[in-house]
Amino acid sequence: MSEALRKEFKSALNKVLQAFDALGDFTTFSALSLATIIKMPSAGTMIPICFRVGVQSVPVVAITGMFIGMVMAIQVFSQFQSLGMATQIGQIINVSVIKELGPVLAATMLAGRIGSSMAAELATMRVTEQVDALICLGVNPLHYLVLPRVLACVLLIPILTILANFMGVFGGSMVCTEIFKVDPYHYWQNSRGHIQIWDLSVGLIKPIFFGAAISLISCHRGMNSRAGAEGVGKAATSAFVWSFMSILVLDFFLALFFNNLHQAIWPDNSIKTFGPK
C-alpha cells in the first residue's frame, strides 16, 4: 500500500513539475517574442494579418454581439415587467454589454476564429520545416511570425469590442422597443447617465490583455506542435481551450483590480444608483 501511495505521489509531483515547466516555457516564449518589438514588422507583413484578424472577424463579432443583446433583453424583460420597471431594462443591458459581455464575447470569437487558425498555420509551418528554413536564412521566426500576430490582436480587438458593444446595445433596444413595445423615449431616457468614461475605458482596456493572451498562447501552441496531422489538430484545439480559459481568468482578476482601483480613486462614488441623474 505504501508503495502504491509512493507511486501516486511521485506521479502527482511529476505533473506539477511539468505544469511549472510548461509555464516557464510559455513565459520565456512570450518574453522573447515581445522583446523583438524593438524592430517593428514591415507593412507588407502586418497588413494581411490585420485584414484576417480584423476585417474578416467583423461579421461573426457583429452577429454575436447583436444576438447576445437580444437574448439578454428577452431574459430580463419578464422580471422587470413584473416589477413595473420595463423602461429600466436599457440600464442593465448597456452596462452588462459594455463592461463584461462585449469584451469577453469579442475575445472568445477571436480565440475561436483567429487563435485556432494561428496555431494550425504555425504548426503546419513547424511540421513542414518552414520555420527551420527561416532560421537558416537568418530570419528570427519570433519577429517574422509571432510578433505581427500579437500586434494585430492587441490593436484590433478593442475595435472589435466597440463593434460588439454597439451591436449588443442595438439588439437589446430593438427587442425591447419593437417586440415588447417599451416606450423608446423612456427606454433611452432611463439609460442615460449610467455609462461613464471609466466604464468605457475598462471595457476597452481588458480586450488588450485578452488579445495578447490569445495571440501568445496560440502562437506558442503552434510553434511547439508535434509532428503529423494529429499534432496540428491538437495544437489548434489546445490553443482555443487555453485561450478561452485565460480570457475568463484574466477577466476575473482585471474586474477585481479595476473595481478596487475605482473605489480607491473615487471612494464616494463606488456604488451607483439606478435612474437618470
Domain layout of the chain by residue ranges: 44-266
Query: How much is the pTM?
Result: 0.86
Residue 191 · residue 204 · CB < 8 Å: no
Nearest to 72 by CA among 204, 156, 169: 169
Q: Residue 184: pLDDT above 90?
A: no
Q: How confident is the model at residue 208 (pLDDT cuts 50, 70, 90)?
A: very high
Residue 272 has pLDDT above 70, yes or no: no
Distances (CA, A) of 37 to 30, 139, 144, 156: 12, 14, 11, 17
Residue 268: predicted pLDDT: 66
Summarize the confidence of residues 237-244 as an average pLDDT: 92
Q: Residue 241: which pLDDT band, with cuts at 50, 70 and 90?
A: very high
Mean pLDDT of all residues in the chain?
A: 86
Q: Is the per-residue pLDDT at 273 higher than 50?
A: no
Which is more confidently placed, 125 or 4?
A: 125
Instruction: Please say if the pLDDT value at position 271 is more than 50.
Output: no
Any residues with CB less than 8 A from the CB of 122 and at least 6 apart, and which? 131, 145, 146, 218, 219, 222, 223, 225, 235
CA 245 to chain centre: 10
The answer to whether residue 220 scores a pLDDT higher than 80 is yes
